[in-house]
Each structure stands twice: as C-alpha cells, then as structure tokens.
Amino acid sequence: MTEHEDPSRDRLKQHFAQRVIHQARQILEVWQRLQRNEWNERGMRELREATLLLQRYAERFEQAEHLQLAQGIGDCLEAVTDNRGRLNSDLISQLNLLMQRLSRTGLRRGDSFEQTALPPLRKPVYLALQHLERAERLAQQLGYFGMNAQALDSANAFRSAMLERHPAAILMDVDFSGRGAGLQLAQTVQQDLEEKIPLLFYSHQDTDTPTRLAAVRAGGQEFFTGTLDASSLLERIEVLAHVAQYEPYKVLIVDDSRAQATYTERALNSAGILTRTLIEPIQAMAELAEFQPDLIILDMYMPECNGTELAKVIRHNDRYVSVPIIYLSAEDDLDKQLDAMSEGGDDFLTKPIKPRHLIATVRNRAARARNLKARMVRDSLTGLYNHTHTLQLLEDARLRAQRDDQPLSFAMLDIDFFKKVNDNYGHPMGDRVIKSLALFLKQRLRKSDHIGRYGGEEFAVVMPGTDAQTARQVLDEIRRRFAEIRYPAQPLDLSCTFSGGIAQLQGDTSSQSLTQQADEALYRAKHGGRNRVEVYTEMTPA
C-alpha cells in the first residue's frame, strides 16, 4: 500500500502539519511585532529562534514547502547578521515576500486567500450576531473585499473558535446568545489575553448610554447600530487591526566625509532604517527624485556646497518643502546652529553623536513627516492620493518606465450613474459607495500600483511594469467583483458598477497624453454600455 492509500498515515501527517502551521504563525506574529515596534536585536533573535524551530519541525514532519520557506527566511536573517545587523531594501523585500508566502500556508480549511495588499497574517474576523442569516450575509459581503469572515451561531461556537484561533477582530452583538450576554461573553474571552483583539459591538436598535458604557468597559473600540454595511465595517477593522508590510524609513545622508557618512549609515541601518549616501552634494536633487527619502541628513561644511546652501536649493522645490532636514556637524557655536536652522533646517545634531540619540531623532522626525505628507497628498474621504499627487506619481513612473524600458499602464475609472445614487439615496450613500470602491481597489491592486481619487466619483490608477492587456484583466476582474457588493437601502439594496479606460505608455508619450488617452478610452466605455473596461490602443479613430 502506498503512502497516499494509508489513511492512518495521512491523518498522522495532517496532525503533524498542524504543529508546523502553528510554528509558522509564531514566526508571523514575531514579524508583525517587529513591524509595529522598532526593529531591534531582541526581536531579531526571537525571529531567528522561531525560524530554526520551524525548519526543524518541517524536516521532521516532511513539510517541504515550510522547509523551503524557513530556509529562505533563515538565509535572509543570516545576511542581516553578515551585514552587521543592518537591513537593506533587498533584504526587506525578500523577507516581506517570504512572510506573505508563509502566511498563505497557515490557512485553516475553508479559509480563502487572494493576492491582495491585506496584512500578511490572514486571520479571520469573527461575526457573532443575534441573527445568523444577517451574519452570513455580512460574511459574504466581506468576502467580496477579500476578507475572510466567519459567522458563528452560538456562544459555544464562539468559544470553540477562540480556542482554535484568535481572529483579526470580533464583531459582537450586545445581545448575542441572550439579552446583554454578548457584552459579558466578549469581556470574558478578552480578559486573559496579553494582546487584546480589536472588538466592535453591534446593536440592531439604537442603545442607551449604560449599554454603550458597558461596551467600552468590555473593551469595545467601536459601536455600530442599525444596518451593517460591509465596507464601513471593513474600514474600521482595517484601522483597528491593521498590520501593514514593514516600510522602513528612508534617509538620504549628504556628507563629504565617507568615514562619517559610513558611521551614520551603519547606526541607522542597524535600527532598520534604509539609507543612501551622497559624497557629492551637487547630485542631491537627482538622488532625491530617485530615492524619495523621508528625511535628509546634511553636513554643514562641504567644499562644493555647504549644508545651508543645499537646504535652500532643496526647499525651492515644492515636492520637498515638508521633508525634514537635520544638520549633523561638529559645529558647536549655538548662534551658527540657529542660523543654519533658519535656512531650511529642522534640527541640529552635534558630532560626535551617540547612535541611540541619532536613531531616536530620525525616527521621531520621519514619523511626523510621514503623517504630515499623508495629509498633504491624500484625499480626506478615501485616503487615496489626491489629484495633484496622482499626476506626480504618474510622471515619476513614466520617467522610470522610459529609463528602464518597462511597460506602464494608466487607468481612469468612473462609477456608473453616480448622480442617480446621490439623487435617489442621498449624498451619505454616495460617499459610502466612493469609499467602498477606494477600499476595494486598495485591497485588490498591488502595493506597487498607485491609486488616486481623480475627482468626484472618478479614480485613477498608475500601474508600473504592467502592459495594457494585463491591466485590463486585473481591472475587469475587480469590476466584476465590485458589482456583487450590496449596500443596504430602502426599498431595495443598492449595487453599483464602474467603467474604465486604460492607456499604455508608448515610446516618449507624455504624462498628459497618457491621461488624455485613458480619458478617451473611459469615454468609449461609457458610451459602449457602461460597466466595462476599454483599452485605448485597441481602438480605431472615431
């Protein structure tokens, strides 16, 4: 009898496979902690130990895929050690990819996984609602957004699920399994947890203050009433449970002393901060456009161009007005330091500086700058890039594509009959549909794609490394799935569609021409019946 014909051996292998999957999850949880907090040696050590254990289990229990991934993660961590504990962009990209692949192996039977920009650890969301049918319908709607939601029909089912696997979040009806019982149940399962699970409460009826106070005391971070909308729920869950890919801060170091630049570089790299060094300040503007740093460190005194002069040059460009500039110099004259700060600088650090002080200053400044930039370049309703920044990203992508001889597609999308949505259902419903499509696009497009709200109900997508036909396939699938979403309304639930137009970069086509071509393709999609995606290059002149 062969191995596959022996049921008992298969069951045994399945049992051991669960132990391997459990260990894989341990790695993913350590990885997420590293991303949430700072990259440090203790976390690295924990990640190495968990990876070695996974490799040992995978070898012992004949789990080939886990073995390969554990070896890959181990190789990356060894490369970090060989690099004196410093990270670089290649290593971070490799680790992100391996962690995403590892997350896919750790799914329970019945879980779904799609290649989206969701967090690498694909935990489910538990829905504990008084009416099972409502919970199942909501789970289906969340599934359209690529989220795995599990409807539970009783308090025992909920407790069993919690014992088997902790979810990404819990939506709990205050009256689940009895009047007010949901509040007590949620509080009980949370009380012994070191790391609390995001908890959202729901009541079909509007509730009084004591109930809401009890929800807060039970650990509730959100309270929904009335009709539950999948997109609004998912938006809150993403905020409360979001663990994004590790995106290290990027710092451009401009210093004519290679030894000092190397010292600064090593200190920051050891803390998981990516750096790029310029010894010749005259190249700074080209490097800024290419590297797009979160922060710039400038030496005060350089032969070709001193730090204050370079700061002025940088500040002349609107794109870099908000990028923090830190002077790092041996200059200890306070008046000269203050003069330098008035010339476009944000901080002044004196050499020699302790690595801990340098790292803390860079982190704090870069974090605030990212926050400020997000407010400047993003649309307030959707969180997508605004019109101006989307066009800037298109221009950057166009220049890179032409330089590297790579394809580039630009798409424009428009929600069909949107005026009727506002007229018949009101502007709040219109906003909900816009936010829903924004969320849908964010989750189903790649991290490398840039999504913008072009204006009103119109969206734009910059797709580097993508030809028009591939872009069409991707957007057409998104179009089909988006049409399946239902928005609770009276007298009938609402569903919406969108139309799209795509243009592909050809030769030395300008960004303006690309937008015009995509707009023309969108126009044809609208006049061709709507709810469709057209490609400009396929069309003959009208």
* Active site residues per annotation: 457
Phi, psi values for residue 297, rounded to 5°: -110, 120
- Quick one: residue 469, left, alpha or beta (phi over 0 = left, psi -120 to 50 = alpha)? alpha
Query: Tokens in use for 5?
Result: 């014909």
Can you tell me the distance from the alpha carbon of 437 to that of 231, in angstroms, rounded to the nearest whole number?
Answer: 9
Q: Are 115 and 145 in contact (CB under 8 A)?
A: no
Name residues whose C-beta falls within 8 Å of residue 390's C-beta, 6 or more positions apart in sequence.
450, 452, 453, 454, 460, 462
Q: Are 480 and 496 in contact (CB under 8 A)?
A: no
Can you tell me the distance from the alpha carbon of 530 to that of 141, in angstroms, rounded to the nearest whole number?
Answer: 23
Local structure of residue 281 (DSSP, 8 states): G
Can you tell me the distance from the alpha carbon of 514 to that of 440, in angstroms, rounded to the nearest whole number?
Answer: 24
Residue 537: exposure state from Cβ atoms within 10 A (0-12, 13-18, ≥19): middle
Name residues whose C-beta falls within 8 Å of residue 430's C-beta, 6 or more positions apart in sequence.
418, 421, 422, 457
Can you tell me the distance from the alpha carbon of 84 to that of 520, in angstroms, rounded to the nearest whole number?
Answer: 53
Strand-pairing partners, residue 411, are 461, 502
Strand-pairing partners, residue 348, are 327
Within 13 A of 361's CA, how many CA atoms are on the CB side? Answer: 20
Q: Are 267 and 296 in contact (CB under 8 A)?
A: no
Can you tell me the distance from the alpha carbon of 460 to that of 440, in angstroms, rounded to the nearest whole number?
Answer: 13
C-alpha 111, offset from chain centre: 21
Within 13 A of 417's CA, how many CA atoms are on the CB side? Answer: 12
Helices (H), 151-299: 155-164, 181-190, 209-217, 230-241, 258-269, 284-291
